[in-house]
Homo-oligomer: A and B are copies of this chain.
Amino acid sequence: MKIVLLGAGNVATHLGLRLLQTGADIRQVYSRTDLSAKELGRLLHVPHCSDTNLIDKTADIYIYTIKDSALSEVASKVQAPKAIHLHTAGSVSMNIFEGYANNYGVLYPLQTFSIAKPVDFSQIPLFLEGNNEYTISALTRLAEKLSSVHYFLSSEDRKKIHLSAVFACNFTNCMYQLAEEIVREAGVPFEVLLPLIWETADKVNYISPKEAQTGPAVRNDEQTMLTHINLLKDNENARNIYLTISEQIKELHKK
């Protein structure tokens, strides 16, 4: 199967490297930014282009890793109606390809990627969707090579997976940033939090988040919560977050 990668960001980079690792036949990298296309093309040792007119029309699979809002525009320009068109977005319906392609679907990797940091792609859960038997069968073969974990899900259920990732990754990272601000106010570097952050993430490999919950909210320690709210008196946002999540913890542990 000849593959064209559309996009040259974090997802394209890690997916491209994994595709090469599994022996896939990548024919071209496209990005509207010429420098990005060039850099990823060089990394993957494949040709690149930054003009939609120059996209190779002879591939079997087109994988779109571009931003959600650009998907339909680029899809309308690829013009390879017999090929399979896949996007990698969590919150975009498969049907975005309707009218532009006959065979289409989704390959959504549940991970946060940074350009410079290697990840073990073989462990990343892939959420798949295809509009017909031909696409589903090709997508299954592709996914099996890329990772040991894959699920076929509807667009609606995939949106839930994406939402859960916002909590588990984006919001968690915001908690780290708020924690960083507070330790710095005490004159201590962020690094003191790293063993705690690591242990918190590691624990849920062994026990459920519900069992792992500790802290003043779950034990209803009003005295400590009051101390904390006082410390946040000049930071309205952080205080609101403190109150809202503490309420949620109490609620989740009432059941």
- CB of B170 within 8 A of CB of A231, answer no
Chain B residues within 8 Å of A160, by CB: 182-183, 185-186, 231
How far, in angstroms, from A168 to B117 measured CA to CA in the complex? 22
Chain B residues within 8 Å of A252, by CB: 174, 177
- Tell me the count of chain A residues lying within 8 A, CB to CB, of chain B: 92
CB contact under 8 A between A168 and B186, given known A180-B209, A240-B244, A248-B238? no
A138 lies within 8 A of chain B by Cβ? no
Per assembly, the copies of the chain total 2
CB proximity of A123 to chain B, nearest CB, Å:
5
> Chain B CB within 10 Å — which of A196, A208, A210, A223 has the most?
A196
Quick check: which of A32-40, A51-59, A98-106, A108-116 contacts chain B, the rest being far away? A108-116
A192 lies within 8 A of chain B by Cβ? yes
A1 lies within 8 A of chain B by Cβ? no
Q: Can you name 29 A-B pairs with beta carbons within 8 Å?
A: A68-B221, A91-B224, A112-B200, A112-B203, A112-B214, A120-B195, A125-B195, A149-B192, A153-B186, A157-B186, A160-B182, A161-B186, A163-B182, A163-B228, A164-B178, A169-B214, A170-B214, A171-B175, A171-B241, A172-B175, A172-B176, A174-B252, A177-B209, A177-B252, A178-B248, A180-B208, A190-B204, A241-B241, A241-B248
Additional A-B contact list (8), CB under 8 Å, known A169-B215, A176-B212: A114-B212, A125-B192, A160-B183, A167-B176, A170-B213, A170-B216, A171-B241, A173-B212
